[in-house]
Structure 1
């Protein structure tokens, strides 16, 4: 039986109703499923955290390849379905919770997870908050492999000067080396979403940039992109410096105050934030 037939049969058997508010779209394409699991490079020494397992299709594939899978599901109505579809796997732990409220460091410690990959078909509405949470909390992840809205994937891999480039691009590229795995048609889901999707892989690594204060760095980035049409001079006025000090910051960093945030590389943002850091310390 094909993945599409299996999925539709399970949905019908349990009389499951898809929730628009939770962004539920189940993958029914075996080829895409294989590409996601292959990209995760799971083996008997690795563990996986999955957010939004749905009816457990991806969960099962990962459990066949790795030591343990911890699947986090927010939807009450999916828990009994998962308990049945995953009943034959002893290496799967189902966590009934909102991923945005999960203490991942505590979960990782309690479950004894090592060599961890985060793998998920993320609901579109929660993509940016989830990625922000797991990256800013500095979880001990080897990689993140997620299927997300194509436009968000484009923003993540975007380069300076492009219209897609923004604070999300900088956040992810600061912590990760990023690559697109594949594009996914809306016809690969039930029900079909209104937009195309992409699978993207992020390999975590120590930051390559010399940043004195990461909180300040990301604060500068946020201000620079809050109003994209503003020059850096106007965007960074609320940062907490007197005008004469801000003018000196631009002079010392060698960055033109009339530029806009989307033109700056991560290295230039690092230089700018470090200069502000030095000025604020005085």
Structure 2
């Protein structure tokens, strides 16, 4: 039995496999698309294990690339829908699955699309998101998928360590900001481990981290876009007090102060001190424009 093959599943991609597949499509990984491919089978096994995917799950995978993670997901999920923007990689993935896991090829759907523009997927709605997200678009893609597919109950994403820290940050911490609060609107967010550089080809110049998101109900029935508008305004000038930062949002400093006091928030506090529930209360009492 080869080192990247187990009795419980298909062969997984090692370093030589990834390079061979890349050569077959004349792929030269680019920083622009954030193309860093996992070459360590143990890493993708770990991702699938931490994600908690089971036989009832329909998994959406964003950016499957050459198929390293896809091959690890197929044995444990009911279906995997892979969303790939690169046309050559999208075209190659079914052949890779047919080669490495022929008995599981029927569980795969490949959607050739930009994940930020996806509004529907083939088959049943996805219940889990598992992905190695390109560093440059990780947060907007994650938030778009959570908003577009409310049936997603869990997400496990691998992102740049700095992004992982921001997503999982708590109020009051140095890394707490817009990604932290917006992710918290949808889910309970937590660190799920670190990933070293050596498991990728080409080797990135940053470390990576795993982030686990478990869906929960929003803290209020206030419109999401209204809450996100407050969040954006508060952090656009994060050094300012909320009374000053929300001046434009409310119409004046006095109106911002009134709204903050009505929401039970100290006008002299700053955005990084507030929870998503605090922002929701502020959005709910926005003063009428004159």
TM-score normalized with structure 2 length: 0.87
Deviates more, 1:88-97 or 1:254-263: 254-263
Q: 1:238 to 1:46 in 2, by over 3 A?
A: same
- Aligned with residue 181 of structure 1, among 192, 196, 210: 192
- Pair 1:26-2:44 in alignment: no
CA contact (8 A) 1:211 1:274 kept: no
Matched, 1:112 2:124: yes
Partner SS state of residue 201, structure 1: strand
2:112 pairs, out of 91, 96, 102, with: 96
* TM-score, normalised via structure 1 length: 0.90
Q: Deviations over 1:60-94 (max 9, x none)?
A: 11111111111111112213431320222111011
Separation in 1, partners of 2:263, 2:92:
57
Say whether 1:250 aligns with 2:251.
no
**Structure-1 separation of matches of 2:22 and 2:253:** 61
Q: Deviations over 1:24-64 (max 9, x none)?
A: 00001222111111122222221111111111121111111
Does the 8 Å contact 2:25/2:88 carry over to 1? no
Counterparts of 1:123-272 in structure 2 under 5 Å? 123-207=134-218, 209-272=219-282
Cα offset for 1:121? 0.5
Deviation at 1:101, TM superposition (A): 1.3
* CA deviation after TM superposition for structure 1 residue 14, in Å: 4.0
CA-atom RMSD, angstroms? 2.0
Alignment partners' CA distance in 1, 2:259 and 2:76? 52
What is the CA-CA distance between 1:135 and the residue it aligns to? 2.5
Aligned mates of 2:135, 2:34 — CA distance in 1 = 6
